[in-house]
Structure 1
């Protein structure tokens, strides 16, 4: 699939298998999601631009690389997106954060917005939208649309699992937004859940149903 990067690192695939297991505890699921977020964050930020700055080590002055440009923005699609967000902030603690509240109507499968809060001046910032699951893609498409309305012009979408149907639909709606994921599963079922998947990520993370 064009515009999609599947991050197939062995550690990610191993941890994903543990997350898929229905016997994995809530605490274990949260820990694994945070750990995988670290590894995925490396890949989605691999090509960030650097610039050289002068510093002094205990030994001598030198020119050393640092991130160039405006601070990154991590945009979490509530509520499950926060599981990835927390792990990514471990690596990039200075990143700005946007929260986008969307839930899926279980009858229509369409997203309903209930909250949106983002940093000002989204132009020229790399914005990484995070949500563990790219299933129907309706919520992801709506979240990216909201960010573009606020001026975002440089976006990436990061998820743990994706369905082929979701990838195709998202790519048609936002061909300029690359997708990063740990796996593309088989298909969606009639209720819009990824198969074989891992269930509802938010429910497994927070112990709700």
Structure 2
């Protein structure tokens, strides 16, 4: 797996990451969503450098100019519900993309044991597409893998890019072991570890709750 750790070098990205972690800033739900959207935009810009381009002429009021256009056929797929704010950031930059939405949540058998349940899927064909699969938190890696498997009947993509705001080393290792070698992982920050409940330390808490409000537990 190709890992792109964008937070290794300081940029405004790290400023936004710091704000979504801050328990005082987190009290402003709208700002949390906006910062997650901004992070998605920055990740889109960095990812765009690896895409394919074609030259086409553009007519201006005074003539024509050969210009570069993205030639990849992109589908943005977000894991509900935490991925929605990140999805908006990706869509702001790849505005002509098709969209896919899929649900995945932890069904707990105990405080430390759970399984990933995938229930809802709305997707176009992924055959030959460039798929951007977004989920803000990469903890154990099980959600990404479960969703990746659930999308297989939709067609074989040309390439797959996973995008996550904060990741744990254990989750990255799990995906490296279980996903194809040519998969790309784009991550803004890599944290210290998982705790015994499978949550990222220091992390930021539950991204879905912070963006959209608390939910009843399954």
TM-score norm. by structure 2 comes to 0.90
Give runs of aligned pairs for residues 117-156 of structure 1, distance below 5 A. 117-120=122-125, 122-153=126-157, 154-156=159-161
CA distance in structure 1 between the aligned counterparts of 2:186 and 2:117, rounded to whole angstroms: 24
Q: Secondary structure at the match of 2:214?
A: coil
SS at match of 1:105: strand
Q: CA deviation at 1:59?
A: 1.1
State the Cα distance separating 1:43 from its structure 2 match: 1.3
Does residue 176 in structure 1 map to residue 216 in structure 2? Answer: no
Distance 2:153 2:185 in 1: 20
Structure 2: runs of 5+ lacking an equivalent: none
With structure 1 as the length reference, what TM-score do the two structures score? 0.93
Superposition deviation, residue 106 in structure 1: 2.7
State the 1:27 CA deviation: 1.5
Task: Find the counterpart in structure 2 of residue 45 from structure 1.
Answer: 48
User: Does 2-11 or 177-186 show the bigger shift?
Assistant: 2-11
- After superposition, the Cα gap between the structure-2 partners of 1:195 and 1:148, relative to the gap in structure 1 and judged at 3 Å, is same
1:114 maps to 119
Q: 2: distance between equivalents of 1:128 and 1:196?
A: 26
Q: Report SS of the residue matched to 1:158.
A: strand
Do structure 1's residue 187 and structure 2's residue 193 form an aligned pair?
yes
The separation in 2 between residues aligned to 1:69 and 1:101, in whole angstroms, is 25
**Equivalenced residues, count:** 206
Q: Secondary structure at the match of 1:119?
A: coil
RMSD: 1.4
Q: Which runs of 5+ in 1 are unaligned?
A: none
**Equivalent residue for 1:62?**
65
Deviation at 1:109, TM superposition (A): 2.6
2:18 aligned partner: 17
CA contact (8 A) 2:51 2:72 kept: no
Task: Give the 4+ runs in structure 1 shifted more than 3 A.
Answer: none
Pairing of 1:72-87 with structure 2 (within 5 A): 72-87=74-89
